Structure 1
Amino acid sequence: MTEPAPAAVAIVACSDLAASEAFYARLGFTVASRYPAHGYLILANADGASLHLTLAPSGWLDPARNPFGVYLYASDVDTLAAAVGASVEHKPWGLREFAVSDPDGTLIRVGWPS
């Protein structure tokens, strides 16, 4: 394994790894490592961002009450928004961004400086 660069990486619980993998693929992520015996995927995108998916026990996730979220910085915010059917907005804090929920209700916000 190559030594990773220092970074913070979110571990996102999901109820269906295949559905989550397909969702995050629309946001530009591909599988870097797959651990089926452990219900775990490591995803990466072309910009070097990483996201880990872990299979949650049945009944543990309630998409209507999921309080978790992940923020992704991506220069291709318009392309990614179109891929998930979202609209990009100019925010007062100087970012162009959109928000969408993954299959388990985790809030995903994607943005880039205006």
Structure 2
Amino acid sequence: MTPTHALTSILPCNDLDASEKFYARLGFTRADSDKPEDGEDSYRILSDGKGGHLHLTDAVEGWLIRGRNPFGLYLYTEAVDELAREFSGELANGQGPEDTLW
């Protein structure tokens, strides 16, 4: 089914390679045809083949500060249990849910 209406996020990143590897773990990959043969690689278009799209771009140096990212993304997926196992040993900002004060 081809979507008739869509919105795609463009996410600034300090490290495009690390960001692309992270999102690959969530099923988002870049088509070989979108990879430059040579030259600057400062913009990446990822998709998960299920309708999810994410664009990554270089952030202006010093603009993004670790732990203070102003952006949020939500991934709606049926693979919650699988992803929970994949990321079970990792914590956001060094805190697990039990350490966070709401």
Please confirm whether the aligned pair reaches a TM-score higher than 0.5, indicating the same fold. Answer: yes
Instruction: Note the C-alpha offset of 1:34.
Output: 3.6
Aligned partner (choices 44, 63, 72) of residue 66 of structure 2: 63
TM-score (norm 2): 0.71
Match of 1:110 in 2: none
Structure 1 unaligned blocks of 5 or more: 87-99, 106-114
Contact 1:42 1:53 in 2 (8 A): yes
SS of the residue 2:30 aligns to? strand
Letter of the structure 2 residue corresponding to residue 49 of structure 1: G
Instruction: Note the C-alpha offset of 1:38.
Output: 5.6
Structure 2 unaligned blocks of 5 or more: 94-102
Match of 2:19 in 1: 20
Q: Does 1:37 align with 2:71?
A: no
CA distance in 1, matches of 2:66, 2:18: 14
CA distance in 1, matches of 2:63, 2:70: 13
Q: Does 1:52 align with 2:58?
A: no
TM-score (norm 1): 0.65
Higher share of residues assigned strand: 1
Match of 1:83 in 2: 86
SS of the residue 1:43 aligns to? strand
Contact 1:9 1:50 in 2 (8 A): yes
CA distance in 2, matches of 1:34, 1:52: 13
CA distance in 1, matches of 2:35, 2:6: 20
Give me the identity figure in percent: 48
Instruction: Note the C-alpha offset of 1:58.
Output: 1.5
Match of 2:7 in 1: 8
CA distance in 1, matches of 2:9, 2:65: 19
| Runs of 4+ displaced beyond 3 Å | none
